[in-house]
Structures are given as C-alpha cells and as structure tokens.
Structure 1
Amino acid sequence: MQEHKKIFPGPRCENGGISERKLITLRDANGNPVVAKKRYYMESHAFPQQKVATEYWGGGSDAIHRYWAMLQFNSCEPIRFEKSGDHVKMLTDRTLYLDSGGIEIEFPLYLATDEDDPGVKCTSHGGDRTWWIITEPTDPDLVAGNYYAFRNYSSYRFMRAVDSLGWLYVDKTDMDSKTMWRLIPIE
C-alpha cells in the first residue's frame, strides 16, 4: 500500500485539539485490545445504543453494491477487524456468492467507500477504499471511553453517522461526535 500522497494536518476534534498520526492499539469498549477474527459491534457515540448494520438498498444487476451501512438498534452487523499498522479492514458477515461455471465462489464483503457515492457500502473488492486509518481523538473523555474515528485511506474522509437510524457516510474531513465509534465485543 502506498503512502497517501497528500499532506494533511492531524484530524481536529470538537475540543479543538489536534491528533498526530501514530500507531494506535485498537481497543474494545472494555479496554481490551481488539483480537483478529473476533466479532464486534460498532456503536455510535452520537447515537448511543445504535450500531452499524447493513441493509439492502437500490437495484441494478451488480449485487456487490446492494448492501449499504446504516445505524440500527437491532439486527446489527458483526464486524471483524483485519489490521495492518494503523489501518484496518472491516469484514462483515455478509457474503457474495457468484456462480463460475457451476462452481459457487464465496466472496466476503467489507465496509468501504464507493467511487460515486459518499455512502458506506459492502464490497468484496475496492483496494484502498476498504482500508480505514484508525484515528484516536484528543478529547480525554473519548479516549477513556475507547472511542475511535475511522478515516478512509482512499478518500481521506471520516466515516460518520448523519442521523439517528440513518445511513452512514464518508464525507467529513474533521472529527466530531458523529465520527466517533466504540467496539462492543460479541461474546
């Protein structure tokens, strides 16, 4: 993966502080390090008890683009984190099945940005669009609560919840309460 070509100042938080990019130990809501292959719910800071879910939306013949991320109270999407340095991929429980000459091939779906839409979609491909930079806030209360923001490697914008029970977007250049997430371990 190439380093991002643009030079950006650290992300700004609501308290006006600046966070420098550094290697961060991603922790769950209990303060434990996130474990590869373990499943977690992503809970919004701005909308407590609402977690990332995926819903079928839209039409078309390309099934890869039919699941998009949103907030819900129930039927939430378990996420597994695949980490590389300060980047993660967010693997969902959704799978795309394609028939290749009578052989069914299974592709796991990741949370990613879309080339043409600012929403968060599920895709089996996407290169840099499936990588997220883990960003820790400078607000000590958010740090103590184990909240993080996730900046997309390709767009260099943060994932955020716009409204209660609404769709997720990747269109924010700075951090605020709507870009903060904590990870709830699934036992």
Structure 2
Amino acid sequence: MRSARTKALVRHARALDAILSTGNADGQGSPEQMRELRDARSAFEKVRPYSIACQAEVEATTAVLKLQDKLPHIQARSLLGIVAKLEIIAGADRDIDDPTDFPWPHIASILDDLKKIVGSLPRGRPERSVVQADCRQYQAIAANLVGLGKPGRHLHLGFSVHPSRVIQSPNECQVMSTSAHSSDA
C-alpha cells in the first residue's frame, strides 16, 4: 500500500508541476494536462484515506510521547502515584525492547511489590465519547497535514475534496489502520 501511495503521489505531483510550469496565471493547463491531473488525483484519492489513518496514528503517538516526556517533572503525591508512573514507564517500552532485558524485570518486580502494598490502579476505561473525540481530533490534524482540512482549496486546479471524504467515526480509523498495517507486510 505504501508503494502505491508513493507512486500515486509522485504521479499527482508531476501532473501538477506540468501545469504550473506552463506559467498560466489561471493555473489551467492544456486539456491533456488537466485530464492527466484529474486521473492522477483520482488514483491518489483511492489511497489517501490510508495516509490519513497513518498520520492520525502518528499524531496520537506524538501526544503520548509528549506526556511521557513530562512524566519526570511530575511529582507523585502518594504511593499510588508512584505505581501510576511506573505503569506508564513499564507500558511505554513493551513494544520497543525485550521485556526480559535489564531493567524491565526489575521495574516489573518493584511495580508488583508496590501493588501488593498499596493496591493496583483502578482499571477504568475512558468513555466511548472521549475515545471518539480523541480519534476525531487526530483525524482532523492528519487531514489538515495531508491536505483535506480545507475543502475546495484546490478548486482552481480542477479538483476539490468534499468533507465527507474525511473519516468520521473511530471505527473507520481503527479498521483503516488495521487493514493498512496488514497490507503493508
């Protein structure tokens, strides 16, 4: 999928460059150039939702990393606060390193000891509306970054993006992200 997206983007960029290099003030090229631009845009639009899902995932991960960067500057006010900080640290590196390498078994052991003394963190999940709002926020950021944030802004070049092309539900985000990763393998 990544290769198809790159090829479609390159084709679109070349078609757009061909029109812009003609020097017409109105941004219009020859009929052949405009047809190639429409065809290139159509090919790019078929793979663009994957770009939005990937970018939304990047934005969400960046937000998590920023919170993790602030963690050393936050003072725990209780043993449960220390448990929470250790949970964040231990959970952050599960996907990156081998959990059997130093210091992860030691941190996990300390975390288990603390949980036996003070108890575990309450296992709550955010409400669905909170998750959906977060997903919409990252989709909007991603849509702006890949050019879907302002419908019709490219209208003078013969194409526009309707707001309905932006992913609207978190299920779409998750489905697209899941299917995108499975097709990249």
> Which TM class, normalised by the smaller chain length?
under 0.3
TM-score by length of 2: 0.23
Q: TM-score, normalised by structure 1?
A: 0.23
Structure having the larger proportion of residues in strand: 1
Q: Which entry has the higher C-alpha Rg, 1 or 2?
A: 2
